Amino acid sequence: MINKEEIDFGSIYLTRANKMGILNLVVIVDIFEDNNKYISVVPISLDTEMAADDDLILEGIENNGPLPCGIVIHAGMQTVISTNDISKYYAHLSKEHEEKLKELLLLLEGDYSVDIETLPIGIPIISPKDYRIEYRNQVVKNLEYLTIPTFISVSNYIN
C-alpha cells in the first residue's frame, strides 16, 4: 500500500510493471490536488552519459545523491500517470536536489532568470544524428503503458 505522505515533489518511486515485467523509476514533480488520483512524473535512468540539457544529473549516494549510483532525471519528459501506477517508494531527493530540479523545470518552462551554470545538466542535442535521440525515444516508449491519454480527461469534462 502506498503511503500518501510520501507522495510529494521529489519522491522517487518504482512504477507498476509493464507486460514484460519491467519497472521504471520515476520522480514525482506535481500532484493534482483536486482528487490525488493523478500525478505528474519524470523518468529516471542510470545512463548519465546519455543526459541532454533538459536532464538533471545527480551523483551517487557517496556524493550525497539519492541512489547508490549516479542518475539522470529526465525533466523534459514529464508525463501524467495514475497514483495506482506507482508501486514502491524508493527514496526522496534532498532539499538541495529538489531545488535544482525545480530550477530546471522553471527553466524548461521559459524562466530564463535561472542560472544554468549552477545546474548539473547534460550537453545539448544539436544534431538530428545525435545517438542520444534514439535513447530518449526509448525512455519515452518505456513509459507509454502508464501515460494517461489526455482525451479521457477532456471527454469526462464534456460529459
Residue 91 falls inside a structural domain: yes
pLDDT at 55: 97
Residue 69 falls inside a structural domain: yes
Residue 102 falls inside a structural domain: yes
Q: In this model, does residue 34 exceed pLDDT 50?
A: yes
Residue 126 falls inside a structural domain: yes
pLDDT at 11: 94
pLDDT tens for each residue of 52-107: 999 999 998 777 777 788 899 999 999 999 999 999 998 899 999 999 999 999 99
- The parent domain of residue 126 ranges over 4-151
Q: Which residues contact 132 (CB under 8 A, 6 or more apart)?
A: 50, 52, 125
Q: Long-range CB contacts (< 8 A, 24+ apart) of 121-130?
A: 121/51, 121/52, 121/53, 121/54, 121/55, 121/56, 121/57, 122/50, 122/51, 122/52, 122/53, 122/55, 122/57, 122/72, 123/51, 123/52, 123/53, 124/52, 124/53, 125/52, 125/53
Q: How far apart are CA 107 and CA 98, in angstroms?
A: 14
Residue 90 falls inside a structural domain: yes
Residue 158 falls inside a structural domain: no
Give the mean pLDDT of 39-60: 94
Number of domains in the chain: 1
> Where is average pLDDT lowest: 28-37, 82-91, 136-145?
28-37
- CATH label of the domain that carries residue 20: 2.30.30.110
Residue 15 falls inside a structural domain: yes
Residue 96 falls inside a structural domain: yes
